[in-house]
């Protein structure tokens, strides 16, 4: 049997209304009464029912986050930034994992809508505009992370992928590389398009060298292994002297395949990754990588979300953060 407000009231010798005030409007209750109520609560193991409170108030304090891929350290770093920012304001974070599955994503957005969370951060996997609108119309603040879905209606925080692609490619040219394979896909992803587009533009402006695209259906370690193996099958004269991997997971797969094949990194082939996750720096040959400010992105998105919670009519804003190049041994011996 769970203790009810009336049990607490009986034990404390006060009315149920006083118990409710002690919980929700402590300033209306004398310190002595508050203490009696608290003792009764402790004795009975009573926990105020959040469902009852929510029903009165309409929304609850929690922030929800729909994470695209929990196995990718980039997204766990984003989550760390969110947590750090929320710790300062004492709001809890509940996470749901879409796993890039649009059906699951929709189900979790519906769950968050039902729970009437005060704010939701989401990195969309599919077409979710209708659901984001519904959440907003029910009083939940929304900020889009690492994308610009519904840019006219929803604020977002993302990273400048064109700049990232430019930094990586210019660095490869600077260390004398001319035959650059860009490994990763599919190209319909905005991020891939921007990074690869920048690489092509930089090489074109440079006037010598070439970039070609080795497509992949996924963006994981195995895609790196498969792509690198395909490149090693080419006649030596047609091999690249550098691989620009679309993310660090791919770069790790590339590094492994080249190492096991006896190819020297960076002497024979240089590697640049993207994200600068913990495992890029931890690789046997530490990876040069384009550092995405993931923790900062999580913090900035959360800061913006808290503003939209305060003022639902706040202007739509798009914060674009700049990546930076971190040079390590996979490009410079």
* Nearest distance from C-beta of residue 11 to its own copies, angstroms: 17
Q: Verify binding: residue 178, its own copies, rule CB under 8 A.
A: no
- List Cα–Cα distances, 13 to 18, 33, 34, 272, in angstroms: 10, 9, 12, 70
Q: What are phi and psi of 117, to 5 degrees?
A: -65, 155
* Nearest distance from C-beta of residue 103 to its own copies, angstroms: 10
C-alpha 282/C-alpha 286 separation (Å) is: 6
Residue from 23, 79, 243, 270 in contact with its own copies (CB under 8 A): 79
Q: Which tokens hold the place of 238?
A: 């047609």
SS3 168: helix
x/- mask, its own copies, residues 131-150, rule CB under 8 A, reads: ---x--xxx-----------
* Nearest distance from C-beta of residue 317 to its own copies, angstroms: 25
Residue from 25, 27, 51, 207 in contact with its own copies (CB under 8 A): 51
How many Cβ atoms are within 10 Å of 49's Cβ, its own excluded?
12
Q: For residue 155, what are the β-bridge partners?
A: 143
Residue from 119, 124, 253, 266 in contact with its own copies (CB under 8 A): 253
Q: Verify binding: residue 259, its own copies, rule CB under 8 A.
A: yes
Q: What angle do CA 133, 123, 324 make, to 5 degrees?
A: 135
Residue from 89, 107, 129, 332 in contact with its own copies (CB under 8 A): 107
Q: Verify binding: residue 71, its own copies, rule CB under 8 A.
A: yes
CB neighbour list of residue 92: distance below 8 Å, 6 or more residues apart: 61, 62, 63, 86
Residue from 4, 16, 38, 76 in contact with its own copies (CB under 8 A): 76
**Contacts (CB under 8 A) with its own copies, residues 285-304:** 285-286
How many Cβ atoms are within 10 Å of 184's Cβ, its own excluded?
29
Residue from 4, 10, 16, 97 in contact with its own copies (CB under 8 A): 97
H or E, element range at 155: strand 155-159
Nearer to its own copies (CB atom), residue 104 or residue 200: 104
10-18, 160-168, 229-237, 273-281 -> range binding its own copies (CB under 8 A): 273-281
Residue from 14, 37, 40, 77 in contact with its own copies (CB under 8 A): 77
* Nearest distance from C-beta of residue 211 to its own copies, angstroms: 25
Nearer to its own copies (CB atom), residue 119 or residue 165: 119
Report DSSP state, residue 26. G
Q: Verify binding: residue 38, its own copies, rule CB under 8 A.
A: no
C-alpha 212/C-alpha 230 separation (Å) is: 13
Residue from 17, 24, 39, 55 in contact with its own copies (CB under 8 A): 55
Q: What share of the chain is helix, strand, coil (3-state, %, to 5)?
A: 50, 20, 35
């Amino acid at each position: 049997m769970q203790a009810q407000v009336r049990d607490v009231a009986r034990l404390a010798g006060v009315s149920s209304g006083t118990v409710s005030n002690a919980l929700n409007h402590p300033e209306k209750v004398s310190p002595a009464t508050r203490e009696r109520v608290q003792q009764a609560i402790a004795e009975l193991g009573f926990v105020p029912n959040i469902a009852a409170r929510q029903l009165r108030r309409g929304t609850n304090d929690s922030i929800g986050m729909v994470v695209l891929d929990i196995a990718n350290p980039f997204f766990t770093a984003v989550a760390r930034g969110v947590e750090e920012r929320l710790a300062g304001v004492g709001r809890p974070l509940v996470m749901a994992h879409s796993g890039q599955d649009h059906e699951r994503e929709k189900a979790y957005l519906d769950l968050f809508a039902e729970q009437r969370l005060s704010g939701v951060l989401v990195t969309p996997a599919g077409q979710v505009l209708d659901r984001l609108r519904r959440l907003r119309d029910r009083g939940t603040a929304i900020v889009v992370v690492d994308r610009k879905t519904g840019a006219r209606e929803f604020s977002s925080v993302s990273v400048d992928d064109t700049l990232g692609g430019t930094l990586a490619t210019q660095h490869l040219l600077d260390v004398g590389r001319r035959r650059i394979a860009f490994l990763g896909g599919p190209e319909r992803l905005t991020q891939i398009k921007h990074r690869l587009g920048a690489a092509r533009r930089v090489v074109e402006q440079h006037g010598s060298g070439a970039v070609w695209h080795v497509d992949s259906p996924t963006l994981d370690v195995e895609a790196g292994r498969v792509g690198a193996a395909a490149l090693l099958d080419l006649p030596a004269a047609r091999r690249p002297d550098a691989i620009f991997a679309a993310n660090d997971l791919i770069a790790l797969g590339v590094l492994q395949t080249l190492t096991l094949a006896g190819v020297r990194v960076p002497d024979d082939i240089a590697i640049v990754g993207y994200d600068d996750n913990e495992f890029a720096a931890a690789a046997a040959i530490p990876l040069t990588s384009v550092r995405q400010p993931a923790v900062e992105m999580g913090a900035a998105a959360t800061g913006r979300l808290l503003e939209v919670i305060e003022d639902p009519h706040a202007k739509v804003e798009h914060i674009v953060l700049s990546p930076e190049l971190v040079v390590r041994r996979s490009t410079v011996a």
